[in-house]
Chains A and B, each alone.
Chain A
Amino acid sequence: MPVMTAPEPVRHDRVKSAAERAAIDASCRGPVLVFASSAVFWLLMGSMLALIASFKLHIPYFLTGSPELTFGRVRMAHLQSVGIGWASLAAVAACLWLMCRLSRAELMYPKMLYLAGALWNIGVFLAVFGIIFGAGQSVEWLDAPPYAPPFFVAALGIVSAWTVAVFRRRREPHLYVTQWYILGAIFWFPWLYLVAQFTIFWAPVTGVVQPIVNWWFGHNVLGLWFTPVALGSAYYLIPKIIGRPIHSYYLSIIGFWSLALFYSWAGMHHLIGGPIPAWLATASTVGSMMMFIPVLAVAINHHMTLLGHFHRLRYSPALRFTVFGAIAYTLVSFQGSLMALKEVSKTAHFTHYIVAHAHLGAYAFVTMIFFGLFYYMIPRLTGREWVSSVLIRIHFWCAAVGITTYFAALSIGGWWQGRMMNNPDIPFARIVMYTQPHLLTRSLAGLLLTTGHIAFAISFVMNLAGWGKQRSGGPTLFVEPQATYPPGPPSL
Protein backbone atom coordinates (compact mmCIF):
# COMPACT_ATOMS: atom_id res chain seq x y z
CA MET A 1 0.00 0.00 0.00
CA PRO A 2 1.54 3.33 -1.02
CA VAL A 3 2.39 5.67 1.78
CA MET A 4 0.27 8.84 1.59
CA THR A 5 2.19 12.00 2.36
CA ALA A 6 0.64 15.36 3.00
CA PRO A 7 1.40 18.17 0.55
CA GLU A 8 4.46 20.13 1.59
CA PRO A 9 2.70 23.43 2.58
CA VAL A 10 0.25 21.56 4.83
CA ARG A 11 3.05 19.62 6.47
CA HIS A 12 4.97 22.84 6.95
CA ASP A 13 1.92 24.47 8.58
CA ARG A 14 1.47 21.49 10.90
CA VAL A 15 5.07 21.60 12.02
CA LYS A 16 4.96 25.35 12.54
CA SER A 17 1.71 25.20 14.46
CA ALA A 18 2.93 22.29 16.62
CA ALA A 19 6.14 24.18 17.37
CA GLU A 20 4.17 27.25 18.43
CA ARG A 21 1.95 25.15 20.70
CA ALA A 22 5.00 23.41 22.16
CA ALA A 23 6.65 26.75 22.92
CA ILE A 24 3.49 27.98 24.63
CA ASP A 25 3.23 24.79 26.70
CA ALA A 26 6.92 25.06 27.61
CA SER A 27 6.49 28.65 28.79
CA CYS A 28 3.85 27.74 31.37
CA ARG A 29 5.11 24.24 32.21
CA GLY A 30 6.80 25.07 35.54
CA PRO A 31 4.05 27.10 37.21
CA VAL A 32 1.25 24.87 35.95
CA LEU A 33 3.01 21.75 37.21
CA VAL A 34 3.61 23.39 40.60
CA PHE A 35 -0.10 24.16 40.98
CA ALA A 36 -1.12 20.75 39.61
CA SER A 37 1.30 18.80 41.85
CA SER A 38 0.23 20.58 45.00
CA ALA A 39 -3.41 20.09 43.99
CA VAL A 40 -2.82 16.32 43.87
CA PHE A 41 -1.13 16.43 47.28
CA TRP A 42 -4.08 18.23 48.88
CA LEU A 43 -6.49 15.83 47.17
CA LEU A 44 -4.81 12.94 49.00
CA MET A 45 -4.75 14.85 52.28
CA GLY A 46 -8.41 15.80 51.85
CA SER A 47 -9.34 12.19 51.09
CA MET A 48 -7.74 10.98 54.33
CA LEU A 49 -9.50 13.64 56.37
CA ALA A 50 -12.79 12.81 54.64
CA LEU A 51 -12.44 9.13 55.49
CA ILE A 52 -11.77 9.88 59.17
CA ALA A 53 -14.80 12.21 59.32
CA SER A 54 -17.00 9.71 57.50
CA PHE A 55 -16.07 6.75 59.70
CA LYS A 56 -16.74 8.78 62.82
CA LEU A 57 -20.40 9.15 61.85
CA HIS A 58 -21.13 5.43 62.12
CA ILE A 59 -18.31 4.40 64.50
CA PRO A 60 -18.69 7.09 67.18
CA TYR A 61 -15.71 5.86 69.26
CA PHE A 62 -13.29 5.92 66.33
CA LEU A 63 -10.25 8.13 67.19
CA THR A 64 -11.91 9.81 70.15
CA GLY A 65 -8.66 10.17 72.11
CA SER A 66 -7.48 13.45 70.66
CA PRO A 67 -9.26 16.78 70.25
CA GLU A 68 -7.41 17.31 66.96
CA LEU A 69 -9.34 14.46 65.37
CA THR A 70 -12.85 15.34 66.49
CA PHE A 71 -15.47 15.37 63.73
CA GLY A 72 -15.93 19.13 63.74
CA ARG A 73 -12.26 19.86 63.09
CA VAL A 74 -11.55 17.02 60.67
CA ARG A 75 -14.58 17.79 58.53
CA MET A 76 -13.68 21.51 58.30
CA ALA A 77 -10.05 20.63 57.51
CA HIS A 78 -11.30 18.29 54.76
CA LEU A 79 -13.33 21.10 53.21
CA GLN A 80 -10.35 23.47 53.16
CA SER A 81 -8.03 20.76 51.86
CA VAL A 82 -10.23 19.82 48.91
CA GLY A 83 -11.89 23.20 48.32
CA ILE A 84 -9.08 25.73 48.65
CA GLY A 85 -6.41 23.05 48.19
CA TRP A 86 -7.23 20.50 45.49
CA ALA A 87 -10.03 22.12 43.49
CA SER A 88 -8.76 25.72 43.62
CA LEU A 89 -5.16 24.82 42.82
CA ALA A 90 -6.36 22.61 39.95
CA ALA A 91 -8.55 25.50 38.77
CA VAL A 92 -5.55 27.84 38.76
CA ALA A 93 -3.51 25.30 36.77
CA ALA A 94 -6.41 25.06 34.31
CA CYS A 95 -6.76 28.84 34.01
CA LEU A 96 -3.07 29.36 33.29
CA TRP A 97 -2.64 26.54 30.78
CA LEU A 98 -5.89 27.11 28.91
CA MET A 99 -5.41 30.88 28.78
CA CYS A 100 -1.90 30.48 27.35
CA ARG A 101 -3.04 27.97 24.74
CA LEU A 102 -6.20 29.77 23.70
CA SER A 103 -4.53 33.18 23.58
CA ARG A 104 -1.60 31.63 21.69
CA ALA A 105 0.63 33.61 24.02
CA GLU A 106 3.57 32.55 26.10
CA LEU A 107 3.63 33.08 29.84
CA MET A 108 5.94 35.90 30.95
CA TYR A 109 7.82 36.10 34.24
CA PRO A 110 6.81 32.65 35.53
CA LYS A 111 8.80 33.13 38.76
CA MET A 112 6.01 35.29 40.16
CA LEU A 113 3.66 32.36 39.72
CA TYR A 114 6.05 30.11 41.66
CA LEU A 115 5.72 32.67 44.43
CA ALA A 116 1.92 32.56 44.08
CA GLY A 117 2.02 28.76 44.27
CA ALA A 118 4.14 28.90 47.42
CA LEU A 119 1.86 31.48 49.04
CA TRP A 120 -1.25 29.49 48.19
CA ASN A 121 0.22 26.29 49.62
CA ILE A 122 1.32 28.04 52.81
CA GLY A 123 -2.25 29.35 53.09
CA VAL A 124 -3.78 25.88 52.66
CA PHE A 125 -1.28 24.40 55.12
CA LEU A 126 -2.13 27.05 57.72
CA ALA A 127 -5.86 26.59 57.08
CA VAL A 128 -5.86 22.80 57.36
CA PHE A 129 -3.52 22.46 60.32
CA GLY A 130 -4.81 25.62 62.02
CA ILE A 131 -8.29 24.07 62.01
CA ILE A 132 -6.99 20.72 63.25
CA PHE A 133 -5.23 22.44 66.16
CA GLY A 134 -8.33 24.36 67.12
CA ALA A 135 -8.06 27.77 65.41
CA GLY A 136 -10.91 27.25 62.93
CA GLN A 137 -13.74 29.77 62.54
CA SER A 138 -17.29 28.53 62.44
CA VAL A 139 -18.24 29.99 59.08
CA GLU A 140 -18.91 27.42 56.35
CA TRP A 141 -16.35 27.63 53.51
CA LEU A 142 -14.50 30.38 55.40
CA ASP A 143 -13.41 28.25 58.33
CA ALA A 144 -9.68 28.94 57.84
CA PRO A 145 -7.98 30.67 60.81
CA PRO A 146 -7.57 34.44 60.38
CA TYR A 147 -3.85 34.17 59.55
CA ALA A 148 -4.46 32.05 56.39
CA PRO A 149 -6.59 34.33 54.11
CA PRO A 150 -3.87 36.97 53.47
CA PHE A 151 -1.84 34.24 51.75
CA PHE A 152 -4.78 33.32 49.49
CA VAL A 153 -5.51 36.95 48.70
CA ALA A 154 -1.89 37.65 47.69
CA ALA A 155 -1.67 34.47 45.60
CA LEU A 156 -5.05 35.12 43.96
CA GLY A 157 -3.96 38.63 43.05
CA ILE A 158 -0.86 37.35 41.28
CA VAL A 159 -2.72 34.56 39.49
CA SER A 160 -5.47 36.90 38.30
CA ALA A 161 -2.98 39.53 37.12
CA TRP A 162 -0.91 36.97 35.21
CA THR A 163 -3.96 35.41 33.57
CA VAL A 164 -5.10 38.83 32.39
CA ALA A 165 -1.54 39.63 31.25
CA VAL A 166 -1.50 36.50 29.06
CA PHE A 167 -4.88 37.47 27.64
CA ARG A 168 -3.64 40.98 26.82
CA ARG A 169 -0.65 39.54 24.94
CA ARG A 170 -2.83 37.23 22.86
CA ARG A 171 -2.06 36.48 19.22
CA GLU A 172 -5.40 34.77 18.63
CA PRO A 173 -7.92 37.51 17.88
CA HIS A 174 -10.99 35.44 18.76
CA LEU A 175 -12.03 35.11 22.39
CA TYR A 176 -13.09 31.46 22.72
CA VAL A 177 -15.92 30.64 25.14
CA THR A 178 -13.45 28.98 27.54
CA GLN A 179 -11.65 32.31 27.85
CA TRP A 180 -14.91 34.05 28.73
CA TYR A 181 -15.41 31.56 31.54
CA ILE A 182 -11.83 31.88 32.81
CA LEU A 183 -11.86 35.67 32.72
CA GLY A 184 -15.17 35.61 34.60
CA ALA A 185 -13.79 33.22 37.22
CA ILE A 186 -10.58 35.13 37.92
CA PHE A 187 -12.58 38.34 38.20
CA TRP A 188 -15.40 36.93 40.37
CA PHE A 189 -13.51 34.78 42.85
CA PRO A 190 -11.19 37.46 44.30
CA TRP A 191 -14.19 39.75 44.61
CA LEU A 192 -16.27 37.10 46.39
CA TYR A 193 -13.44 36.20 48.72
CA LEU A 194 -12.54 39.78 49.62
CA VAL A 195 -16.13 40.89 50.19
CA ALA A 196 -16.86 37.83 52.35
CA GLN A 197 -13.70 38.31 54.40
CA PHE A 198 -14.39 42.03 54.75
CA THR A 199 -18.02 41.78 55.80
CA ILE A 200 -17.71 38.72 58.03
CA PHE A 201 -14.30 39.12 59.71
CA TRP A 202 -12.60 42.45 59.07
CA ALA A 203 -15.61 44.80 59.50
CA PRO A 204 -18.26 42.32 60.65
CA VAL A 205 -21.84 42.99 59.72
CA THR A 206 -24.38 42.05 62.34
CA GLY A 207 -27.42 39.81 62.65
CA VAL A 208 -28.82 37.81 59.77
CA VAL A 209 -26.67 39.68 57.27
CA GLN A 210 -23.75 37.47 58.32
CA PRO A 211 -25.32 34.16 57.21
CA ILE A 212 -26.64 35.94 54.12
CA VAL A 213 -23.09 36.95 53.13
CA ASN A 214 -21.83 33.54 54.19
CA TRP A 215 -24.16 31.64 51.84
CA TRP A 216 -23.83 34.16 49.07
CA PHE A 217 -20.10 33.35 49.24
CA GLY A 218 -20.42 29.62 49.90
CA HIS A 219 -22.75 29.01 46.99
CA ASN A 220 -20.87 31.27 44.62
CA VAL A 221 -17.55 29.52 45.26
CA LEU A 222 -19.03 26.60 43.38
CA GLY A 223 -21.00 28.64 40.85
CA LEU A 224 -18.65 31.48 40.02
CA TRP A 225 -15.24 29.89 40.63
CA PHE A 226 -15.26 26.12 40.15
CA THR A 227 -18.15 25.98 37.67
CA PRO A 228 -16.80 28.46 35.10
CA VAL A 229 -13.33 26.93 35.14
CA ALA A 230 -14.69 23.38 34.89
CA LEU A 231 -17.18 24.30 32.15
CA GLY A 232 -14.48 26.23 30.32
CA SER A 233 -12.26 23.14 30.46
CA ALA A 234 -15.07 20.94 29.13
CA TYR A 235 -15.74 23.41 26.30
CA TYR A 236 -12.10 23.07 25.32
CA LEU A 237 -11.56 19.36 25.92
CA ILE A 238 -14.65 17.79 24.36
CA PRO A 239 -14.36 19.42 20.91
CA LYS A 240 -10.58 19.19 20.94
CA ILE A 241 -10.43 15.51 21.84
CA ILE A 242 -13.03 14.31 19.35
CA GLY A 243 -11.90 16.78 16.68
CA ARG A 244 -15.31 18.40 16.20
CA PRO A 245 -16.30 22.04 16.88
CA ILE A 246 -18.98 22.78 19.48
CA HIS A 247 -22.47 22.04 18.21
CA SER A 248 -23.73 25.60 18.78
CA TYR A 249 -21.22 28.25 19.61
CA TYR A 250 -24.09 30.73 19.93
CA LEU A 251 -25.62 28.63 22.73
CA SER A 252 -22.28 28.46 24.52
CA ILE A 253 -22.08 32.26 24.65
CA ILE A 254 -25.71 32.46 25.86
CA GLY A 255 -24.77 29.92 28.53
CA PHE A 256 -21.88 32.02 29.79
CA TRP A 257 -23.78 35.30 29.99
CA SER A 258 -26.84 33.76 31.61
CA LEU A 259 -24.61 32.11 34.24
CA ALA A 260 -23.01 35.50 34.88
CA LEU A 261 -26.41 37.12 35.20
CA PHE A 262 -28.29 34.61 37.36
CA TYR A 263 -25.91 32.53 39.42
CA SER A 264 -25.04 35.02 42.12
CA TRP A 265 -28.74 35.29 43.09
CA ALA A 266 -28.98 31.64 44.02
CA GLY A 267 -27.11 31.36 47.36
CA MET A 268 -30.01 32.46 49.57
CA HIS A 269 -31.91 29.26 48.90
CA HIS A 270 -29.64 27.76 51.59
CA LEU A 271 -31.47 29.93 54.10
CA ILE A 272 -35.05 29.13 53.11
CA GLY A 273 -36.99 28.77 56.33
CA GLY A 274 -34.40 30.84 58.18
CA PRO A 275 -34.93 34.33 59.65
CA ILE A 276 -34.12 36.26 56.48
CA PRO A 277 -36.48 38.58 54.58
CA ALA A 278 -38.98 36.53 52.58
CA TRP A 279 -38.33 38.54 49.39
CA LEU A 280 -34.65 37.59 49.55
CA ALA A 281 -35.39 33.86 49.66
CA THR A 282 -37.99 34.27 46.90
CA ALA A 283 -35.61 36.24 44.67
CA SER A 284 -33.05 33.49 45.21
CA THR A 285 -35.56 30.83 44.22
CA VAL A 286 -36.31 32.81 41.03
CA GLY A 287 -32.56 33.07 40.31
CA SER A 288 -32.19 29.34 40.84
CA MET A 289 -35.01 28.66 38.38
CA MET A 290 -33.42 30.99 35.83
CA MET A 291 -30.32 28.80 36.03
CA PHE A 292 -32.19 26.32 33.83
CA ILE A 293 -31.21 28.58 30.91
CA PRO A 294 -27.40 28.20 31.11
CA VAL A 295 -27.69 24.58 32.21
CA LEU A 296 -29.88 23.63 29.26
CA ALA A 297 -27.57 25.56 26.92
CA VAL A 298 -24.53 23.65 28.18
CA ALA A 299 -26.31 20.27 28.31
CA ILE A 300 -27.63 20.56 24.75
CA ASN A 301 -24.27 21.73 23.49
CA HIS A 302 -22.19 19.00 25.12
CA HIS A 303 -24.60 16.24 24.16
CA MET A 304 -25.02 17.38 20.57
CA THR A 305 -21.27 17.87 20.13
CA LEU A 306 -20.66 14.30 21.27
CA LEU A 307 -23.51 12.82 19.21
CA GLY A 308 -22.01 10.21 16.90
CA HIS A 309 -18.72 10.25 18.83
CA PHE A 310 -19.66 8.43 22.02
CA HIS A 311 -17.50 5.46 20.98
CA ARG A 312 -14.45 7.66 21.56
CA LEU A 313 -15.11 7.32 25.29
CA ARG A 314 -13.49 3.89 24.92
CA TYR A 315 -10.23 5.36 23.71
CA SER A 316 -9.70 8.63 25.58
CA PRO A 317 -9.22 8.83 29.36
CA ALA A 318 -9.56 12.61 29.34
CA LEU A 319 -12.86 12.38 27.45
CA ARG A 320 -14.27 9.78 29.85
CA PHE A 321 -13.69 11.92 32.91
CA THR A 322 -14.81 15.10 31.17
CA VAL A 323 -18.04 13.66 29.81
CA PHE A 324 -18.85 12.11 33.20
CA GLY A 325 -18.35 15.57 34.71
CA ALA A 326 -20.44 17.27 32.03
CA ILE A 327 -23.35 14.87 32.62
CA ALA A 328 -23.02 15.44 36.37
CA TYR A 329 -23.19 19.20 35.75
CA THR A 330 -26.61 18.83 34.16
CA LEU A 331 -27.83 16.60 36.98
CA VAL A 332 -26.51 18.70 39.84
CA SER A 333 -27.80 21.93 38.33
CA PHE A 334 -31.30 20.56 37.72
CA GLN A 335 -31.31 19.13 41.22
CA GLY A 336 -30.02 22.39 42.67
CA SER A 337 -32.73 24.44 40.99
CA LEU A 338 -35.43 22.09 42.27
CA MET A 339 -33.92 22.16 45.76
CA ALA A 340 -34.45 25.92 45.80
CA LEU A 341 -38.22 25.29 45.85
CA LYS A 342 -39.57 25.76 49.34
CA GLU A 343 -41.52 22.48 49.34
CA VAL A 344 -38.40 20.48 48.44
CA SER A 345 -36.22 22.47 50.81
CA LYS A 346 -38.62 21.72 53.66
CA THR A 347 -37.59 18.07 53.51
CA ALA A 348 -34.00 18.29 52.24
CA HIS A 349 -32.70 20.96 54.60
CA PHE A 350 -30.30 19.91 57.39
CA THR A 351 -30.07 16.34 56.08
CA HIS A 352 -27.49 14.16 54.33
CA TYR A 353 -29.34 14.93 51.09
CA ILE A 354 -27.52 18.28 51.01
CA VAL A 355 -24.16 16.54 51.48
CA ALA A 356 -24.97 14.26 48.54
CA HIS A 357 -25.87 17.26 46.39
CA ALA A 358 -22.67 19.10 47.35
CA HIS A 359 -20.55 16.11 46.37
CA LEU A 360 -22.44 15.65 43.10
CA GLY A 361 -21.36 19.20 42.28
CA ALA A 362 -17.89 19.37 43.76
CA TYR A 363 -16.80 15.85 42.88
CA ALA A 364 -18.90 14.28 40.11
CA PHE A 365 -18.92 17.52 38.11
CA VAL A 366 -15.91 19.69 39.03
CA THR A 367 -13.36 17.12 40.17
CA MET A 368 -14.09 14.68 37.35
CA ILE A 369 -13.60 17.43 34.75
CA PHE A 370 -10.34 18.45 36.43
CA PHE A 371 -9.20 14.83 36.33
CA GLY A 372 -10.00 14.83 32.61
CA LEU A 373 -8.08 18.05 32.16
CA PHE A 374 -5.05 16.63 33.98
CA TYR A 375 -5.07 13.49 31.83
CA TYR A 376 -4.98 15.71 28.76
CA MET A 377 -2.73 18.52 29.99
CA ILE A 378 0.04 16.80 31.98
CA PRO A 379 1.51 14.68 29.14
CA ARG A 380 1.57 17.76 26.92
CA LEU A 381 3.51 19.66 29.56
CA THR A 382 5.96 16.92 30.50
CA GLY A 383 6.27 15.50 26.96
CA ARG A 384 5.72 12.04 28.41
CA GLU A 385 2.91 9.56 27.90
CA TRP A 386 0.99 8.20 30.92
CA VAL A 387 2.75 5.10 32.16
CA SER A 388 -0.15 2.74 32.73
CA SER A 389 -3.60 2.35 31.19
CA VAL A 390 -4.49 0.05 34.09
CA LEU A 391 -3.92 2.77 36.67
CA ILE A 392 -6.07 5.18 34.66
CA ARG A 393 -8.86 2.61 34.40
CA ILE A 394 -8.66 1.89 38.13
CA HIS A 395 -8.91 5.60 38.79
CA PHE A 396 -11.88 6.09 36.49
CA TRP A 397 -13.94 3.16 37.72
CA CYS A 398 -13.19 3.80 41.40
CA ALA A 399 -14.15 7.46 40.96
CA ALA A 400 -17.26 6.77 38.86
CA VAL A 401 -18.62 3.90 40.98
CA GLY A 402 -17.53 5.59 44.20
CA ILE A 403 -19.25 8.91 43.63
CA THR A 404 -22.39 7.27 42.21
CA THR A 405 -22.66 5.04 45.29
CA TYR A 406 -21.94 8.00 47.56
CA PHE A 407 -24.62 10.11 45.93
CA ALA A 408 -27.25 7.37 45.89
CA ALA A 409 -26.65 6.33 49.52
CA LEU A 410 -26.81 9.82 50.98
CA SER A 411 -29.62 11.05 48.71
CA ILE A 412 -31.95 8.21 49.63
CA GLY A 413 -30.93 8.21 53.30
CA GLY A 414 -31.04 12.00 53.51
CA TRP A 415 -34.47 12.32 51.94
CA TRP A 416 -36.05 9.84 54.34
CA GLN A 417 -34.11 11.43 57.19
CA GLY A 418 -35.80 14.73 56.27
CA ARG A 419 -39.24 13.15 56.05
CA MET A 420 -38.80 11.57 59.46
CA MET A 421 -37.45 14.77 61.04
CA ASN A 422 -40.58 16.57 59.88
CA ASN A 423 -42.68 14.04 61.77
CA PRO A 424 -42.72 14.95 65.49
CA ASP A 425 -43.90 11.45 66.42
CA ILE A 426 -40.59 9.85 65.41
CA PRO A 427 -37.89 9.95 68.12
CA PHE A 428 -34.65 11.57 66.99
CA ALA A 429 -32.56 8.55 68.07
CA ARG A 430 -34.55 6.35 65.67
CA ILE A 431 -33.75 8.71 62.80
CA VAL A 432 -30.05 8.57 63.70
CA MET A 433 -30.17 4.76 63.68
CA TYR A 434 -31.98 4.79 60.34
CA THR A 435 -29.13 6.72 58.70
CA GLN A 436 -26.39 4.30 59.86
CA PRO A 437 -26.39 1.92 56.84
CA HIS A 438 -26.38 4.92 54.50
CA LEU A 439 -23.41 6.42 56.32
CA LEU A 440 -21.56 3.10 56.23
CA THR A 441 -22.18 2.92 52.47
CA ARG A 442 -20.82 6.47 52.21
CA SER A 443 -17.61 5.37 53.94
CA LEU A 444 -17.21 2.41 51.58
CA ALA A 445 -17.74 4.75 48.64
CA GLY A 446 -15.11 7.05 50.16
CA LEU A 447 -12.66 4.15 50.30
CA LEU A 448 -13.27 3.56 46.59
CA LEU A 449 -12.72 7.23 45.80
CA THR A 450 -9.50 7.26 47.81
CA THR A 451 -8.25 4.15 46.01
CA GLY A 452 -8.84 5.99 42.74
CA HIS A 453 -6.98 9.03 44.03
CA ILE A 454 -3.99 6.90 45.01
CA ALA A 455 -3.92 5.35 41.52
CA PHE A 456 -4.11 8.85 40.04
CA ALA A 457 -1.32 10.15 42.28
CA ILE A 458 0.92 7.19 41.36
CA SER A 459 0.33 7.87 37.64
CA PHE A 460 0.98 11.55 38.18
CA VAL A 461 4.27 11.04 40.07
CA MET A 462 5.48 8.45 37.54
CA ASN A 463 4.78 10.87 34.73
CA LEU A 464 6.62 13.71 36.47
CA ALA A 465 9.51 11.37 37.21
CA GLY A 466 9.87 10.76 33.48
CA TRP A 467 8.84 7.09 33.50
CA GLY A 468 6.37 7.52 30.68
CA LYS A 469 7.27 6.92 27.07
CA GLN A 470 8.60 9.99 25.31
CA ARG A 471 6.42 10.86 22.37
CA SER A 472 7.86 10.50 18.92
CA GLY A 473 5.19 12.60 17.26
CA GLY A 474 6.21 15.82 18.97
CA PRO A 475 5.00 17.33 22.20
CA THR A 476 1.41 17.87 21.16
CA LEU A 477 0.73 15.13 18.60
CA PHE A 478 -0.31 12.20 20.67
CA VAL A 479 -1.29 9.73 17.99
CA GLU A 480 1.47 7.28 17.14
CA PRO A 481 1.77 7.30 13.33
CA GLN A 482 3.13 3.78 12.77
CA ALA A 483 1.86 1.75 15.72
CA THR A 484 0.32 -1.68 15.18
CA TYR A 485 -2.12 -3.28 17.57
CA PRO A 486 -3.83 -6.62 18.03
CA PRO A 487 -7.37 -6.54 16.62
CA GLY A 488 -10.44 -6.42 18.85
CA PRO A 489 -12.12 -3.86 21.03
CA PRO A 490 -10.11 -2.24 23.79
CA SER A 491 -10.94 -3.22 27.33
CA LEU A 492 -12.94 -0.79 29.37
Chain B
Amino acid sequence: MTPPDIALLATVVGSIVLFGGAAAIALGWAFRDGQFDNFDQGSKSIFGPDEPVGEATDAFPGINVEVEEATAPW
Protein backbone atom coordinates (compact mmCIF):
# COMPACT_ATOMS: atom_id res chain seq x y z
CA MET B 1 0.00 0.00 0.00
CA THR B 2 1.28 3.47 -0.89
CA PRO B 3 1.17 6.35 1.63
CA PRO B 4 -1.89 7.92 -0.07
CA ASP B 5 -3.71 4.56 0.20
CA ILE B 6 -2.91 4.38 3.89
CA ALA B 7 -4.05 7.99 4.38
CA LEU B 8 -7.31 7.24 2.59
CA LEU B 9 -7.92 4.08 4.59
CA ALA B 10 -7.20 5.90 7.84
CA THR B 11 -9.61 8.68 6.84
CA VAL B 12 -12.41 6.29 5.94
CA VAL B 13 -12.00 4.04 8.99
CA GLY B 14 -11.49 7.04 11.28
CA SER B 15 -14.62 8.69 9.93
CA ILE B 16 -16.71 5.56 10.38
CA VAL B 17 -15.53 5.17 13.98
CA LEU B 18 -15.84 8.87 14.77
CA PHE B 19 -19.23 9.43 13.24
CA GLY B 20 -20.77 6.10 14.05
CA GLY B 21 -19.53 6.54 17.59
CA ALA B 22 -20.75 10.12 17.85
CA ALA B 23 -24.21 9.16 16.58
CA ALA B 24 -24.40 6.24 19.04
CA ILE B 25 -23.29 8.45 21.94
CA ALA B 26 -25.75 11.19 20.99
CA LEU B 27 -28.65 8.73 20.73
CA GLY B 28 -27.69 7.04 24.01
CA TRP B 29 -27.49 10.39 25.78
CA ALA B 30 -30.85 11.49 24.36
CA PHE B 31 -32.59 8.33 25.62
CA ARG B 32 -30.93 8.51 29.06
CA ASP B 33 -31.73 12.20 29.37
CA GLY B 34 -35.39 11.61 28.56
CA GLN B 35 -35.32 13.70 25.38
CA PHE B 36 -37.71 11.31 23.65
CA ASP B 37 -40.04 10.75 26.62
CA ASN B 38 -42.63 13.43 25.98
CA PHE B 39 -42.96 14.58 22.39
CA ASP B 40 -45.97 16.79 23.10
CA GLN B 41 -44.02 18.74 25.70
CA GLY B 42 -41.00 18.92 23.39
CA SER B 43 -42.94 20.46 20.53
CA LYS B 44 -44.09 23.28 22.84
CA SER B 45 -40.65 24.10 24.20
CA ILE B 46 -40.21 27.00 21.74
CA PHE B 47 -43.20 28.81 23.20
CA GLY B 48 -43.22 30.75 26.44
CA PRO B 49 -45.36 33.11 28.47
CA ASP B 50 -44.40 36.06 26.23
CA GLU B 51 -44.96 34.19 22.97
CA PRO B 52 -47.54 31.54 23.84
CA VAL B 53 -49.24 28.93 21.68
CA GLY B 54 -52.01 30.57 19.69
CA GLU B 55 -50.26 33.93 19.22
CA ALA B 56 -48.81 34.93 15.85
CA THR B 57 -45.40 36.56 16.14
CA ASP B 58 -44.66 38.07 12.75
CA ALA B 59 -46.31 40.53 10.39
CA PHE B 60 -45.55 43.02 7.65
CA PRO B 61 -44.62 46.44 9.04
CA GLY B 62 -47.71 48.22 10.33
CA ILE B 63 -49.99 45.18 10.20
CA ASN B 64 -51.69 43.81 13.29
CA VAL B 65 -52.52 40.20 12.53
CA GLU B 66 -55.37 40.00 15.03
CA VAL B 67 -57.03 43.15 13.69
CA GLU B 68 -56.55 42.03 10.10
CA GLU B 69 -58.03 38.62 10.79
CA ALA B 70 -60.98 40.08 12.64
CA THR B 71 -61.80 42.44 9.76
CA ALA B 72 -60.95 40.11 6.86
CA PRO B 73 -63.92 39.32 4.59
CA TRP B 74 -63.03 35.62 4.25
Contacts and interface: CB of A to CB of B under 8 A. Distances in A.
Given A236-B46, A243-B53, A479-B59, A191 B4 contact: no
A351 interface: no
A484 B49 contact: no
Contacts of A245: 40, 43-44, 46-47, 53
Interface residues of B, number: 52
Contact of A176 (B40, B46, B59): B46
A325 to B, nearest CB: 15
Given A176-B42, A199-B7, A490 B60 contact: yes
B33 to A, nearest CB: 8
Given A191-B15, A206-B4, A239-B43, A319 B63 contact: no
B42 A311 contact: no
Contact of A376 (B22, B53, B58): B58
A61 B40 CA distance: 61
A203 B56 contact: no
B49 A250 contact: no
A175 B30 contact: yes
Interface residues of A, number: 73
A315 B35 CA distance: 34
B43 A483 contact: no
Contacts of B33: 175
A319 B15 CA distance: 38
A68 interface: no
A209 B7 CA distance: 12
A18 interface: yes
Contacts of B23: 260
A187 B61 contact: no
B64 A483 contact: yes
Given A249-B43, A480-B64, A489-B72, A209 B58 contact: no
Interface string B11-44: 1000100110011001100100101100111111
A387 B62 CA distance: 10
A316 B61 contact: no
A474 B32 CA distance: 39
A315 B59 contact: yes
A23 interface: no
Ranked nearest first, the 7 interchain pairs of A and B with the lowest CB-CB distance are: A13-B49, A249-B43, A18-B50, A245-B43, A17-B50, A249-B39, A316-B58
Interface of A: 10, 13-18, 21, 102, 172, 174-178, 183, 187, 191, 195, 198-199, 203-206, 209, 236, 239-246, 248-250, 252-253, 257, 260, 311-312, 314-319, 375-376, 385-389, 392, 468-469, 474, 476-480, 483-485, 487-490
Interface of B: 3-5, 7-8, 11, 15, 18-19, 22-23, 26-27, 30, 33, 35-36, 39-69, 71-74
21 contacts: A10-B49, A176-B46, A195-B15, A199-B7, A199-B8, A204-B4, A209-B8, A236-B46, A240-B57, A241-B56, A243-B51, A243-B56, A243-B57, A244-B54, A245-B53, A246-B43, A249-B42, A389-B63, A476-B57, A478-B58, A478-B59
Given A14-B50, A21-B48, A487-B71, 6 more contacts: A21-B50, A174-B41, A240-B51, A243-B47, A315-B58, A389-B61
